[in-house]
Structure 1
Amino acid sequence: MQLLRLITINRVLIRHGLDEVIFAIHLLRPIRFLFYLAPWNWFRRVRASRGERIRRTLEDLGPIFIKFGQMLSTRRDLLPDDIAKELARLQDRVPPFPDAQAFAIIERALGKPISEVFLAFDKTPLASASIAQVYAAVLHSGEPVVVKVVRPDILPVIRRDLQLMYIMAQLAERYWSEGPRLRPVEVVAEYEKTILDELDLMREAANATQIKRNFSGSSILYIPTIYWDYTRRQVMVMERIHGVPVADMQALSAVGADLKLLSERGVEIFFTQVFRHNFFHADMHPGNIFIDIDIPEDPTYIAVDFGIVGTLTGADRRYLAENFHAFFNRDYRRVAELHVESGWVPADTRTEQLESAIRSVCEPIFQRPLKDISFGQLLLRLFQTARRYDMQVQPQLVLLQKTLLNIEGLGRDLYPDLDLWKTAKPFIERWIDEQVGLRAMIRGAKYGLPVFLEKLPQMPGLMHEIMLHEAKGRTRRDISAPQLEALRQEIIRAQQRSSLTVLAATLFICATLLLLFAENLPGYLGIPYAAAGMVALAGLLLLMALWRRG
């Protein structure tokens, strides 16, 4: 099966005149003469442009390859213009599948004829993408909507290509010197999860609802409403939005949209989703982003297609934020230390050498606008640095890296003079302050102390139960009589302290809440800040005294 797929891929390359790509590979250059001996190259023929041939090849190879082309289309700095323009067509102009198949899927999923669900239904698709295509419709209640339908029989095609990718990844990991460090099998596994999730429109609808809730009341990002009554695994009905595609620079400029503000808001949306919400749209190519230009000087982003979202662990978020913060402050020593602490490089890495390498990569681009930064060269040098210090690829960060590429591509098109460092630095500093400052301590007390207080009365009983188990020999540890007596005395002291501890912690929590919300209390409940502070201090001192005695 995989051999047949490889043959198919080669046949598609030959059909679109891309067989020279294969012979351009370094290892195959010695036998490049075979390219000219191939029968299909004996006669000259008029060929389409190279960009069009690449696009058609990816379309014929299927959804996984189309997704790859979509990502590349956002990197104008890495591709020639003719190729980038053609690949941009993959974002929403993939050849559609037959309408009759789409209608049958809709009716089967909803259990009703289309006419019973929709007052009007446009039978020409609005857009066709690699995974699904979209139709315009109107509900009987009058709301204009779009109906998204998953392509029929797409799962077997995706699984087939995933199997091929696994084979290639396993070979790379086994026979390529860089394989163990790049962890290609884990990267493919991460991608498998992502693309299979895209096939479940119920999951996509839930993602959209979550992001909409996260940005409730926001003036910078709008998320369409999901109509859950008409949403199934293969069909999703969503509010129809109207906006200008973010890539249509001519239309945005014609209405006088504030492109600088728009690019800054794009950065704010990204950092808000990643660090504050920990739930980010991970497929932000231009085909999924529109601009509401009703008020050109105050433009709003509109996002669609939420099949791919990303999250990070608390540790990864903290390390990323601290890396950004150290980078913005040119503290390359801290960047190197964070790479060691996080386990991204081996523990025996010499920090001063890694610091020097990172400085040589980052310093040339610091505080430059987007138009003066060659991210292609930056990524190449970072890759070389990673190889030198055995830096492993982090599969859980692949989606974030992909999203960063999309965001950077959008920013480059919208406002090349954007000072990315100046825009992002205040946000990172504010987030770090929220995580480690006074507000973080109060938030930790708010969520942690109630749990601690709930468990505190049970602790003496739990300790007594442990002592009984120990006394009866139910554990393998050998505890002597003096040790058991010491435990018994400790339990007695803990019981005596428990009520005082509860009282002290309660005083501290109440005083803290009074300090936070004193301004909102009715006049007759007004409590001076000094009094509340004294209560808090008394509770804190009592807790410290009890803990010291313990």
Structure 2
Amino acid sequence: MERALSILLFVPIVVVTVLAFAAVIRRLLGVRVGLVRALLAAVLAMLVTAPILSAFAPPDPATVSGGEAFLLAAASLVIAALLAMAALVVLEVLLPTGSLPGPVEAVRGARRRIERTRRYSTIVRIALRHGLGRFLRGRPQPGPTSAAARRRLARSLRSALDDGGVTFVKIGQLLSTRRDLLPAEFADELTALQDKATPVPWPEIEAVLAAELGRGVGEVFRDIDREPLAAASVAQVHTARLLDGTEVVVKVQRPGIARIVERDLDILLRLGDMLEERTSWGKAFGVRGLANGFAVALREELDFTIERDNLQAMAAALAGSPERGVRVPTAYPQLSSERVLVMDRRPGTPLGTAAPALARLDAGRRAEIAAGLLDSMLDQILTHGLFHVDLHPGNLLLDTDGSLSMLDLGSVGRIDAVTRAAIGRLLMAVGRGDSVTVTDALLQLLDRPGDVDERELQRVVGALIVRYAAPGSTVGVTAVTALLNTFAAHGLGVPPSVAAVFRAVTTLEGTLALVHPAFDLVGQARASAGRRIADTLTPDNLRDALEQELSTLLPMLRGLPRRLDRIGDAVENGRLRFNVRLFADDQDRRLVTGLLHQALLTVIGATAGVMAVLLLGTDGGPRLSTGVALFPLLGYGLLVVSAVLVLRVLVTVFRHT
């Protein structure tokens, strides 16, 4: 009974002692220490207290008075706390705070690692099942030598991407628009991913509809086609009629797709972080920002309320622009939710499968359709700052009269007025062949480092303009690659919003080539820029621009005399002062902080070395045991500390990178 009672009392005493040690250590260090580290240091202090006390105590404890016992115990506690604090400092040097996750993060991280491993295994099995295993060996493989072999490999690739899920389907959709990058057999086969993904069985779709609508499907729709009109990577579309007979399309999100997307995005974001940290081109391109932007866009596509709002905003933008023959569906907000979107049914055929309809049109009409689509995209980018970022052929419907309807506005690009103005100046300067203005516009669009060789950048940009912006040229993958290489060579980063514009233009180029293979994108863009310049020079537009500038300048001009009077009064009375923020720049602060740290480490290391020499040369002093004295032990310890600190400083001094 007494033994059990002593055990019950011992446990809370130990816990209280450890917590007390942890609180004292954190308080004495004066910095924020993690709870786990503080508890480990407290346990260390508690464990070494008894050996230290026994080392200080005389051979016969009976000769120690009460006051001496108290002093010995206090000294033991203080030394134990100092040892624990030193252990924390050493631990901070070896494993800085934040380098290891906490318990909760460790559990979550382990769970994510398990999911990633399963996902990797799934991807490998999919590749093996479709005969693509030989491409995973890390060695160059010979490509197909005949058109039939290319078609077979293209079908295998399309099936593997389809089975891989949303992320891989998105990759296939982007590749399907790059006919200048892929053989025709691959581009034709990957086009099926734009609206021909594997459909979800109707019972699963019906369950999603009932859950989102809050009532039975028959209470909302007079009838609905159980066979999907189109099946894409995120959702599939069914035709239906409302109770009043209105024809609509119902876009339903695939069940369980959100969890799959989050798992793939976790892999993508980790890959982006790794590339930006370990590669120079990854840092120059801002791969982490691009991956984050892609993740945000894909998450937006999973929320159909965002697409509903985008449809309404895009409809308003198109209504405020000249008629280009491009429209968007009208959404039904009262019947839409995060996973269901109801829209009116637009007539037409997906552009990716509209080759027979396009063949019936003459070359002039096809050129008009392509020009209208390009002008509409330029209106969206330059005038409204709201544009469709993924206009591949599967997201466009071609009507019999040649008009186009844009679909899938779950992810749109948005750019501010300053960026729009810079892009406009860029297009106008490209049309004139003005490399100086093009360079200035690019520097305003991109994230520039502290030092840029602008003259060299102007020469490189001028050469690119001559090569790719000449009449008859096409803005293909070679031009985009050359431009991105130029950005990387000069340390220019591409913000996500600007990257979305690049993506929209390159995707649109493949779509325009499908509508009209001989379409001159550069020439049409130059002509459109010329028309926009002429429109801005009309008397009404000039008057509006002047009014806007005056409305901006007038408040500043009104306050200018008052500010000048205050400055003059301060100068006259000797009260003029200048406030300068020292080290406001992060680089300056890091430089000064690094120098101070090196100087402090040097002083501490030298001081520790001098103290070590003095202690090692001192005779006498208390003894920890019959063969170990306190002063030599402390001296050797300080000598080790001095050596470590001096070596750290020398490594920093002699390191070249």
**TM-score, L = length of structure 2:** 0.63
Distance across 1 between alignment mates of 2:202 and 2:538: 57
- Equivalence for 2:520: 419
- Could you tell me which amino acid in structure 2 is paired with residue 14 of structure 1? L
Cα 1:114–1:340, aligned 2, differ >3 Å: closer, same or farther?
closer
Residue deviations 1:496-519, cap 9 Å, x none?
xxxxxxxxxxxxxxxxxxxxxxxx
- What's the CA shift for 1:327? 1.0
- What's the CA shift for 1:338? 2.9
Cα 1:260–1:47, aligned 2, differ >3 Å: closer, same or farther?
closer
Maintained 8 Å contact 2:475/2:521? no
Residue deviations 1:438-461, cap 9 Å, x none?
65663356557678889999x89x
- Equivalence for 1:143: 246
Answering whether residue 495 of structure 2 is matched by residue 397 of structure 1, we say no
- Equivalence for 1:292: 399
Answering whether residue 485 of structure 2 is matched by residue 378 of structure 1, we say no
- Equivalence for 1:211: 314
Unaligned runs of 5+ in 1: 33-45, 468-477, 486-550
Answering whether residue 301 of structure 2 is matched by residue 198 of structure 1, we say yes
- Could you tell me which amino acid in structure 1 is paired with residue 515 of structure 2? L
Cα 1:437–1:170, aligned 2, differ >3 Å: closer, same or farther?
farther
Greater shift, 319-328 or 330-339, is seen at 330-339
Residues 88-167 of structure 1 mapped to structure 2, 5 A cutoff: 88-167=191-270
- Could you tell me which amino acid in structure 2 is paired with residue 277 of structure 1? H
Cα 1:133–1:427, aligned 2, differ >3 Å: closer, same or farther?
same
Answering whether residue 352 of structure 2 is matched by residue 251 of structure 1, we say no
SS at match of 1:280: strand
- What's the CA shift for 1:241? 1.4
Residues 329-348 of structure 1 mapped to structure 2, 5 A cutoff: 329-346=432-449, 348=451
- Equivalence for 1:51: 154
Maintained 8 Å contact 1:340/1:347? no
Cα 1:302–1:14, aligned 2, differ >3 Å: closer, same or farther?
same
- Equivalence for 1:261: 368
- Equivalence for 1:16: 130
Answering whether residue 383 of structure 2 is matched by residue 276 of structure 1, we say yes
Distance across 2 between alignment mates of 1:3 and 1:88: 30
SS at match of 1:148: strand
SS at match of 2:347: coil
Distance across 1 between alignment mates of 2:375 and 2:150: 45
- What's the CA shift for 1:222? 2.0
Distance across 2 between alignment mates of 1:155 and 1:291: 31
Maintained 8 Å contact 2:446/2:495? no
Cα 1:60–1:450, aligned 2, differ >3 Å: closer, same or farther?
same
Distance across 2 between alignment mates of 1:169 and 1:10: 21
- What's the CA shift for 1:219? 5.3
SS at match of 2:248: strand
Maintained 8 Å contact 1:127/1:135? yes
Distance across 1 between alignment mates of 2:459 and 2:344: 52
SS at match of 1:120: strand
Cα 1:342–1:399, aligned 2, differ >3 Å: closer, same or farther?
closer
- What's the CA shift for 1:221? 1.3
Distance across 2 between alignment mates of 1:305 and 1:341: 31
- Equivalence for 1:303: 406
Distance across 1 between alignment mates of 2:155 and 2:485: 32
Maintained 8 Å contact 2:366/2:516? yes
Distance across 2 between alignment mates of 1:322 and 1:343: 14
Answering whether residue 191 of structure 2 is matched by residue 85 of structure 1, we say no
Higher alpha-carbon Rg: 2
Unaligned runs of 5+ in 2: 1-113, 142-148, 577-657
Answering whether residue 440 of structure 2 is matched by residue 326 of structure 1, we say no
Distance across 1 between alignment mates of 2:330 and 2:370: 25
- What's the CA shift for 1:232? 1.5
- Equivalence for 1:226: 331
- Equivalence for 1:508: none
Distance across 1 between alignment mates of 2:346 and 2:441: 43
Maintained 8 Å contact 2:349/2:397? yes
Greater shift, 259-268 or 214-223, is seen at 214-223
- Equivalence for 2:582: none
- Equivalence for 1:525: none
- Equivalence for 1:537: none
**Identity over aligned residues, as a percent?**
27
- Equivalence for 2:343: 238
Greater shift, 222-231 or 200-209, is seen at 222-231
Maintained 8 Å contact 2:472/2:523? no
Answering whether residue 282 of structure 2 is matched by residue 179 of structure 1, we say yes
- Could you tell me which amino acid in structure 1 is paired with residue 366 of structure 2? L
Distance across 1 between alignment mates of 2:540 and 2:527: 17
Greater shift, 445-454 or 245-254, is seen at 445-454
Maintained 8 Å contact 1:367/1:419? no
Distance across 2 between alignment mates of 1:241 and 1:117: 20
Cα 1:219–1:322, aligned 2, differ >3 Å: closer, same or farther?
closer
- Could you tell me which amino acid in structure 2 is paired with residue 120 of structure 1? D
Distance across 1 between alignment mates of 2:440 and 2:362: 46
Distance across 1 between alignment mates of 2:538 and 2:573: 45
How many pairs align?
A: 448
Distance across 2 between alignment mates of 1:233 and 1:483: 65
Residue deviations 1:52-90, cap 9 Å, x none?
111112112110111111011011111011111111010
Distance across 2 between alignment mates of 1:374 and 1:425: 13
Distance across 1 between alignment mates of 2:124 and 2:277: 24
- What's the CA shift for 1:191? 0.8
Between the two structures, name the one with larger relative contact order (CA 8 Å, sep ≥ 6).
Answer: 1
Distance across 1 between alignment mates of 2:451 and 2:539: 35
- What's the CA shift for 1:192? 1.0
SS at match of 1:287: helix
Distance across 2 between alignment mates of 1:142 and 1:446: 50
- Equivalence for 1:488: none
The match for 1:409 among 510, 530, 533 is 510
Cα 1:220–1:66, aligned 2, differ >3 Å: closer, same or farther?
same
- Equivalence for 1:387: 488
Distance across 2 between alignment mates of 1:455 and 1:397: 32
